[in-house]
Amino acid sequence: MRMLWTLAQYFSLPALVFSLPAMAQNDETAKPVPPQPCSTANYHQFDFWIGNWTVTSSGQPAGTNSIHPILNDCALQENRQGAGGTTGTSFNIYDQATDKWHQTWIDDSGTLLQLDGGLQDGSMVLQGQRPAPDGNEMTTHRISWAPNPGGSVRQLWDASRDGETWTVLFDGLYQKAASTDGTR
């Protein structure tokens, strides 16, 4: 009986050996795992703005800002607290369909600002139009965020009614806020 068992093992060995390549082939032909949504480099062009920041303008405190990724890293949410007590938030996303970045800003005074644009020479530059305070003309708003050596970010917000003459509305410096453990 022992010899029959050994012969049975001997004859089943070739079947096993010949089936191994077929099993390996199934592993090799398995479809690759698709990349995670929003994982391409374009979705991360604005990552230099992520963090908790203290913001100054002309050396004076202008507030704090917290920017963090949301929705599976598909968007950035900004939460701003102005030095005078104003608050606002924005949602920022790279729109693959238009190949542009989009920001929707809202604040506690009822302001809505919608901007589009993208990375230009290492700075994120977004612009959009909204009615002027008098309601008669459109004002173009242009905001740029430029990463500086050392990790700070400069935000420059200017506006124009004619597209040629620009007025600076805000020129701020974002510096990483100290964390609770004393690090930046």
Quote the mean pLDDT of the chain: 87
Q: What is the mean pLDDT of residues 136-163?
A: 95
Q: Is the pLDDT of residue 26 over 60?
A: no
Lowest mean pLDDT among 18-22, 37-41, 60-64: 18-22
d(CA 45, CA 3): 70
Percent of the chain with pLDDT over 90: 72
Going from N- to C-terminal start, the domains of the chain cover 42-176
Residue (of 94, 117, 116, 104) closest to 42 by Cα position: 94
Q: How far is CA 148 from the centre of its chain?
A: 18
**By C-alpha distance, which of 85, 94, 44, 90 is closest to 67?**
90
pLDDT in tens, 96-133: 999 999 999 999 999 999 999 999 999 999 999 998 77
Asked whether residue 23 carries a pLDDT value surpassing 90, the answer given is no
The pLDDT value recorded for residue 67 is: 98
* CATH superfamily for domain 42-176: Calycin beta-barrel core domain (2.40.128.20)
pLDDT band, residue 180 (cuts 50/70/90): low
Closest residue by Cα to residue 80 from 69, 94, 95, 68 = 68
Write the pLDDT tens digit of every residue in 51-96: 999 999 999 999 999 999 999 999 999 999 999 999 999 999 999 9
The predicted pLDDT at position 27 comes to: 55
Q: Would the pLDDT of 150 be above 80?
A: yes
Please indicate whether residue 17 or residue 118 has the higher confidence score (pLDDT): 118
Q: How sure is the predictor about 181, in pLDDT bands with cuts at 50, 70 and 90?
A: low
**Which token pair is 37?**
């949504």
CA–CA dist 52, 67 (Å, integer): 6
